[in-house]
């Protein structure tokens, strides 16, 4: 940076005391709260042998760990490598993409273990955790990673941590309303993760609107190798999405079915994305932005219904539609949102998560509404929708109505929460960069001097010797 600009930046973006303070205070708070509240669940506790006897389990393989740990690891990869590398497409923001995603997710999972724990795993004053809690914490943080996509390159790490704190909290409340109060099914999180996360992020970026962002327009694009790094993220998200949608489904057929439906939906989505990517451009060439993102819409769009009897052909239909909607979104909606609604959506999460999330919620509501005992079997029907206890008398069509209500609640929470959090993030104390320094790692990172010419000379000294 030339000196004057650097000094200008320094005023705003100097992180030396603010960032460490936030991180350390936060970690101390986590330690205290974990100390007070968090303990091992029965299947991770050393009393497991006794537990096994009580539950009449004959083998250690019945431990939930063996049902869910492989899926957990896939989800874990999606959150850290998937989302992290997906966002490295920017030519000069790779450190921020993968590094800040790392920071906010590591920060968020701790808070999510607590928040979700209080709502769902609280017993005798303690939060009892097991592998399912780890998956849910990753899921919760996934919604923050989505929102991060909208504001990528325009916010300071402190803003991201503040957003994470609030978003995880709101996510947990919204999730509680949907799953516990409305008794809604949403194992892959079309509503709780994608719809909520995306509209939350879009609202935040609307509030943080930067009128002069074209000053850093030159850095908003990709270079050849940054597009390849991003494809690492894309492919891991795409490949492991069947694990994502099935990770917390019921043991047995539900996990199995979720994986198959998601696999089918994603395969179809790739074809319609490629078709529309080529069709919507004069030159008919494929656009990496679409391939990197819209191919994933099929996973989002079956998030709610994958564990239901959506059927493989139903999955193909949903996947096909979501690929089209998402690609069309990148070509037409994103520019419209920016120019007319002042929503600057760096990664196009509106196309990858918001619209497909809505589709997912709607498809879930319909699939639930048309469910019959004939299709599911008597036992399967009750098990699939948990029509037990107070929900014994719920009919599929009523369930469909509640599912639809879940979409509305998620949207309201996202807009209201996003507006409030956006307002907080607008305060001039968080150290975000000036418009001309957006999308530039040098603001918050020590960036190596790319003395490329020197490298080449080292390598080709004959050339270097030439005048």
CB closer to its own copies out of 232 and 420:
232
Distance CA 299, CA 83 (A): 14
Q: Would you say 192 and 403 are in contact if contact means Cβ atoms under 8 Å apart?
A: no
Q: How far is the CB of 142 from its own copies (least distance, A)?
A: 14
CB closer to its own copies out of 205 and 295:
295
CB closer to its own copies out of 290 and 350:
290
CB closer to its own copies out of 120 and 219:
219
Q: Which residues contact 301 (CB under 8 A, 6 or more apart)?
A: 190, 265, 269, 318, 319, 321, 322, 356, 357, 359, 360, 363
Distance CA 25, CA 237 (A): 33
Q: Token match 């990858």: residue? A: 352
CB closer to its own copies out of 81 and 178:
81
Q: What are phi and psi of 39, to 5 degrees?
A: -135, 165
Distance CA 56, CA 70 (A): 25
Strands (E) across 150-247 are located at none
CB closer to its own copies out of 34 and 176:
34
Q: What are phi and psi of 128, to 5 degrees?
A: -100, 115
Q: What are phi and psi of 143, to 5 degrees?
A: -65, -30
CB closer to its own copies out of 340 and 374:
374
Distance CA 379, CA 250 (A): 13
Q: How far is the CB of 339 from its own copies (least distance, A)?
A: 21
From the list 211, 229, 33, the residue with the least C-alpha distance to 117 is 33
């Amino acid at each position: 940076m030339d000196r004057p600009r650097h000094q200008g930046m320094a005023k705003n973006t100097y992180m030396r005391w603010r960032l460490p303070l936030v991180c350390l205070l936060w970690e101390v708070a986590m330690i205290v709260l974990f100390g007070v509240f968090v303990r091992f669940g029965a299947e991770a506790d050393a009393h497991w042998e006794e537990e096994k006897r009580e539950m009449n389990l004959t083998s250690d393989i019945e431990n939930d760990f063996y049902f869910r740990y492989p899926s957990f690891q896939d989800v874990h990869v999606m959150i850290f490598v998937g989302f992290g590398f997906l966002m490295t497409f920017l030519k000069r923001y790779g450190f921020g993409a993968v590094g800040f995603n790392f920071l906010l997710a590591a920060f968020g999972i701790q808070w999510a273990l607590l928040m979700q724990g209080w709502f769902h795993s609280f017993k005798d004053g303690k939060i009892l955790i097991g592998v399912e809690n780890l998956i849910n914490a990753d899921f919760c943080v996934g919604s923050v990673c989505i929102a991060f996509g909208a504001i990528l390159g325009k916010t300071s790490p402190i803003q991201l941590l503040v957003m994470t704190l609030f978003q995880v909290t709101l996510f947990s409340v919204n999730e509680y309303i949907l799953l516990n109060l409305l008794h809604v099914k949403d194992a892959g999180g079309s509503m709780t993760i994608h719809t909520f996360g995306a509209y939350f992020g879009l609202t935040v970026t609307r509030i943080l609107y930067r009128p002069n962002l074209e000053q850093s327009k030159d850095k908003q694009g990709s270079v050849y190798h940054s597009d390849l790094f991003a494809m690492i993220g894309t492919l891991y998200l795409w490949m492991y999405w069947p694990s994502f949608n099935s990770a917390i489904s019921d043991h047995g057929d539900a996990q199995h079915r979720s994986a198959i439906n998601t696999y089918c939906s994603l395969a179809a989505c790739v074809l319609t994305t490629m078709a529309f990517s080529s069709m919507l451009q004069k030159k008919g060439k494929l656009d990496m932005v679409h391939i990197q993102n819209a191919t994933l819409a099929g996973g989002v769009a079956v998030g709610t219904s994958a564990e239901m009897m959506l059927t493989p052909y139903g999955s193909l239909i949903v996947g096909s539609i979501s690929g089209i909607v998402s690609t069309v979104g990148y070509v037409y909606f994103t520019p419209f949102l920016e120019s007319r609604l002042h929503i600057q959506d760096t990664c196009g999460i509106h196309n990858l998560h918001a619209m497909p999330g809505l589709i997912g919620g709607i498809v879930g509501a319909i699939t639930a509404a048309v469910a019959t005992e004939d299709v599911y079997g008597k036992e399967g029907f009750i098990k699939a929708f948990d029509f037990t206890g107070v929900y014994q008398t719920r009919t599929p069509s009523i369930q469909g109505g509640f599912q639809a209500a879940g979409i509305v609640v998620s949207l309201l929470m996202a807009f209201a929460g996003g507006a409030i959090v956006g307002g907080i993030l607008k305060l001039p104390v968080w150290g975000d960069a000036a418009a001309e320094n957006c999308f530039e790692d040098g603001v918050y990172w020590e960036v190596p001097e790319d003395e490329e010419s020197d490298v080449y000379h080292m390598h080709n000294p004959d050339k270097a010797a030439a005048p």
